[in-house]
Structure 1
Amino acid sequence: MFSALLQSVSLTQRALLVSLLLCCVPASALELTGIPNSHDPATLMKDGDTYFHFTTGGGVWYSRSTDLTDWGNPGTIFGSGWPSWINDAVPGFEGEFWAPDAIQMGDYFYVYYSVSTFGSSRSAIGVVRTPSLKNPNWQDLGMVVQSYGGSDEINAIDAALFRDHDGRVYMSYGSWFGGLGVAEINQSTGKLASGVTKIYGGGHQSIEAPYITRNGDYYYLFFTRGKCCQGSNSTYKVQVARSTSVFGPYTDERNLLPNEDGKRKGPGHIGILKQDGCNFTTTHYYDLNDGGTAKLDIQMMTFSGGWPSMTHNFNNIMDCGGTSEGLYQIQSRRSGKSLEIEYADTENGGNVVQYDFNNGLHQQWYVIDQGTGNYSLINALSLKSMDVWGVSTSAGANIAQYDYLGGDGQRWQFNSVTGNYVEIESELSGMLLDVYGNSTENQANIVQWDRTGRSNQHWTMIRQY
């Protein structure tokens, strides 16, 4: 009944309905079962119907779940061996890979991993990729960044990846020694696309495990302070600071998760899964009721007054009245054809048309939740934004691609339509994406138009992973 109600109302009405219904639904902490062991967990990734949880362990260890609650079916990326480049980069490495993180870019899932030895800044971050997590074919791409043991270097561990509103991907990393850094990632190679910018810490402060996310106009830098790896004696706690730039400065540091909360001691290593408008947030903690064993924890993050807060009190796999972040095929209800950039153009002004789907990246779009009810739609080939051409508010204005500038003509809302379809509404004009002339032909132009209720304004969002 809840799902049916959500499909019949607009996004704004949907969010209000969710909040009204959830106020009457008893919520409780999510109790994980199966194999919940974890230390420095990666952001949860979903491939089809399965979630993947990568964490510190031999061979880059991971487990799987279909409901976020029961975890099992473990595996490793490298088995008992490791890539040969590691032997030169980190002498003495013994196979324990630290603090992985995962992201999907283009046709691949990428997993970033750390190699080091305890207490040393002679470290490296590597990356491996596969076209599928459910049926993996891992290809190691080698080193992404390295530190050489200097006392003031940014230690090359604890990588964390995130995609900004403009489609760019950034990696933050670091610990103690020289503090925390961030760099842009080349989405074709998985390697650095820019130099590293120091953003926080340094001078051997007890700081590590950064993670950046964006909500509205602010970037939020999460990190841990204290000491890990001491079970029930861990002094870890999770802090947060914010900035209007991904490169900082990050200010007004405040505590997000205290060192101890009931049975949970020493939380650390934030990751955020943005699904159905919710922020499912992962950390590890040391279980005081189980001898200080490190376990996975999943909480819900919300934002109020410009700052995040966390709660264990939510129901399993909620729908918060939004669209999950991810890579999508956007298919016309009227024609069954998909939105693409005509001729796979990568330049500004490339036209958005409909065409038979052939699995090209120019036919796929990153949907990026801005945390405000609006979304970016970034083409997976060009990494440019879907745009109302000329900042027009007129019916019939063309839809094209352009570098993301953050204007209202590049912000979109999804309104539910009966039958699991959506309308895609421009924040600028309030008009809808429309197949011009109600056409069913390949290369028919996409424009904005007043709401008609016809099927050429209805779209199916088909997630590609």
Structure 2
Amino acid sequence: MQCKTIPRSLCTRSALITYSRRLWALVVLLLALPASALDLTGMTNSHDPATIMKDGDTYFHFTTGNGIWYSRSTDLVNWGNPSTVFGDSWPNWINDAVPGFEGHFWAPGAIQMGDYYYLYYSASTFGSSRSAIGVVRTQSLKNPNWEDLGMVVQSYGGNDEINAIDAALFRDHDGKVYMSYGSWFSGLGVAEVNQSTGKLAGSVTHIFGGGHQSIEAPYITRNGDYYYLFFTRGKCCEGLDSTYRVQVARSTSVFGPYTEERNLIPNQDGKRVGPGHIGIIKQDGCNYTSMHYYDGNDNGAAKLDIQRMTFSGGWPTVTHHFSDISSCGGVSEGLYQFQSQHSGKSLEIANADTANGGNVVQYDFNGGLHQKWYVIDQGTGQYSLINAGSLKSMDVWEGSTEAGANIAQWDYWGSAGQKWLINRVGGNVEVESFLSGMVLDVYGVSSSNGANIVQWNSTGGANQRWSMIRQY
């Protein structure tokens, strides 16, 4: 995004039945909600917000500003307690990469990878493609200790370059992470991210725009079989005269081609003018979008907005006509420990193995990445469970539908044996194979370290019940 201005101070039968029940519960919930907007309160000033992140009971909203400005909320509604990442200084490498930079960072993007929160930021000057995206990380957002990792990608001022601003991060069903970015000039690009270093894992692929079109602020998400590329057209930073609007295109590959560009959010909707810079939060089975808009009732002040997104007929729609942040019958995306109700031990990959076929067992929790799992909402009632140590998928061995079949890890390729339903049972969950309709089971009701995890018909036993403990 180009001018950033905010106040400086600031298919099994059981699976289908479960899915149908969730769908009906969602319909009932939506019908029960009054048609009123979710009005945010407190310190809501925002421009080009990053995807909202959560640490414990607190949400964090990063946005354009001096030193990378951010605020906090415990309910996604009331925002306050502002701070900055860098304060009044910034990493020295930026001075060489972007001459004339004065500390006003643009359009951050955020994601959790392993034991860290990574925050990507843009350094540029208005109207120029001499820009750079850097990354900083911390293990805690509540008590941050920011470590700058340096430059991720750079552009050098040419008219045919992908301008290195507006980074956005997204985790695919297979656990891989991608960064999209770009503004005007040569359009938008995407590249895979190395999750250990936070830097790019491969080359950048051009995916949309170019020829100095008015296009910027990309964000990619996946729902079912499609990848959706959200972006902003028009001009920003002119308050109520801004011509920003949000568009969407789709593809069956993260690298495109993205086609069938459609309007998603118009330039004006009531008091909201010039919306831009989409991010998506997947919480409790719902999709929520964060973005900024210029407030027609407040002299065009740039503010944070949260809307609900749903998919129908292969395309998303959004609305701000809902009264609260409510459950849609699922679980929130994130990094989790799965703890057995029976033994108190956690699901892990035996011996922290990173190879295909590594066995899933239970063991005392020691905080290793091989004991943590990315829960990824596929938008279809099913979830990927990707081990944070190996980045491989929880998998029913050899696609078996037999009781007692082993649970292991394998490269994700989208088979039914790698898709899971997460069914709430009281304060715990059963994890059900979409392939077999059977659930994760501690074999032999063992309480020993290293006991094998298999699939078995649901019995309601404690050895088939798991606490999902979010990792921050």
Q: 5 Å matches for 1:158-307? A: 158-307=166-315
Does residue 23 in structure 1 map to residue 31 in structure 2?
A: yes
Q: Does 1:127 align with 2:132?
A: no
Following the alignment from structure 1 to structure 2, what is the Cα–Cα distance between the partners of residues 258 and 23? 25
Q: 2:5 is matched with which residue?
A: none
> What is the percent sequence identity of the aligned residues?
77
For 2:96 and 2:251, locate their aligned partners in 1 and report how far apart those are by CA, in whole Å. 37
Indicate if the aligned counterparts of 1:11 and 1:415 stay in contact, CA closer than 8 A: no
Structural RMSD (CA):
1.0
Cα displacement string for residues 41-98 of structure 1 (whole angstroms, at most 9, x for unaligned residues):
0000010000000000000000000111111000000000000000000000011000
- CA distance in 2 between counterparts of 1:139 and 1:10 reads 44
Match of 1:430 in 2: 437
The aligned counterpart of 1:4 is none
Within 2, Cα distance between the matches of 1:201 and 1:159?
Answer: 16
For 1:225 and 1:362, how far apart are their aligned partners in 2?
A: 42
- When the two structures are aligned, how many residues end up with a matched partner? 456
Matches within 5 A, 1:5-24: 12-24=20-32
Counterpart contact for 2:417–2:435, Cα < 8 Å: yes
List per-residue Cα deviations over 1:283-302 (Å, max 9, x = no partner): 10011111111100100000
* 1:310-340 Cα shifts (integer Å, max 9, x gaps): 0001132210111100000001111010000
In the TM superposition, what is the alpha-carbon distance from 1:10 to its structure 2 partner? 5.3
Partner of 1:460: 467
1:269 & 1:21 partners in 2: Cα distance?
A: 28
The answer to whether the Cα contact below 8 Å between 1:333 and 1:459 also exists between their aligned partners in 2 is yes
The equivalent residue for 1:342 is 350
Residue 62 (structure 2) pairs with residue 54 (structure 1): yes
Contact 2:374-2:386 within 8 A present in 1 as well: yes
SS in 2 for 1:158: coil
The CA distance in 2 between the partners of 1:256 and 1:15, in whole Å, is 23
Q: Which moved more, 1:208-217 or 1:9-18?
A: 9-18
Which stretch of the first structure deviates more once superposed, 315-324 or 59-68? 315-324
Comparing 223-232 with 18-27, greater Cα deviation is found at 18-27
**Local SS of the residue matching 1:79:** coil
1:14 Cα shift? 4.0
Distance 1:27 1:462 in 2: 34
Aligned AA for 1:464?
Answer: Q
Alignment of 1:83-94 (within 5 A): 83-94=91-102
Residue 222 of structure 2 aligns to a residue whose secondary structure is: strand
**1:178 to partner: Cα distance:** 0.6
Amino acid in the other structure paired with 2:80 = G
- On the 8 A contact 1:11/1:414 being kept in 2, the answer is no
Asked whether 1:71 is paired with 2:79, we answer yes
Is structure 2 residue 46 aligned with structure 1 residue 38? yes
TM-score (norm 2): 0.95
Deviations along 1:93-136, one digit per CA (max 9) or x if unpaired, are 01100000110000100000000000000000000000000000
Paired residues of 1:15 and 1:322 also in contact (CA < 8 A): no
- Secondary structure in 2 aligned to 1:29? coil
TM-score, structure 1 as length reference: 0.97
Query: Which secondary structure state, in structure 2, belongs to the residue aligned with residue 437 of structure 1?
Result: helix
Give the distance between the partners of 1:24 and 1:213, measured in 2 at CA.
28
Which of 364, 376, 384 matches 1:368? Answer: 376
Deviation string 1:375-398 (CA, Å, 9 cap, x unpaired) is: 000000000000001111111110
Q: What's the offset of the Cα at 1:452?
A: 1.3
Cα deviation, residue 362, structure 1: 0.2
Q: State the Cα deviation string for residues 356-389 of structure 1 (Å, max 9, x = none).
A: 0000000000000000000000000000000001
Return the offset for 1:263: 0.7
Equivalence for 1:5: none
In the alignment, the residues of structure 2 paired with residue 327 and residue 410 of structure 1 have an alpha-carbon distance, to the nearest angstrom, of: 17
**Residue 6 (structure 2) aligns with:** none
Give the corresponding residue for 2:3. Answer: none
Once structures 1 and 2 are overlaid, which stretch shifts more, 30-39 or 210-219?
A: 30-39
State the partner residue of 1:321.
329
Report SS of the residue matched to 2:326: coil
CA distance in 1: counterparts of 2:58 and 2:448, whole angstroms = 36
SS in 2 for 1:362: helix
Q: 1:112 — aligned with what?
A: 120
Q: CA deviation at 1:27?
A: 3.7
Structure 2 runs not aligned, ≥5 long: 1-16
Kept in 1, the 8 Å contact 2:25–2:328? The answer is no
Partner of 2:21, secondary structure, is: helix
Query: Which residue of 1 is the match for residue 394 of structure 2?
Result: 386
Q: Distance in 1 between matches of 2:458 and 2:49?
A: 45
Letter in 2 for 1:417: V
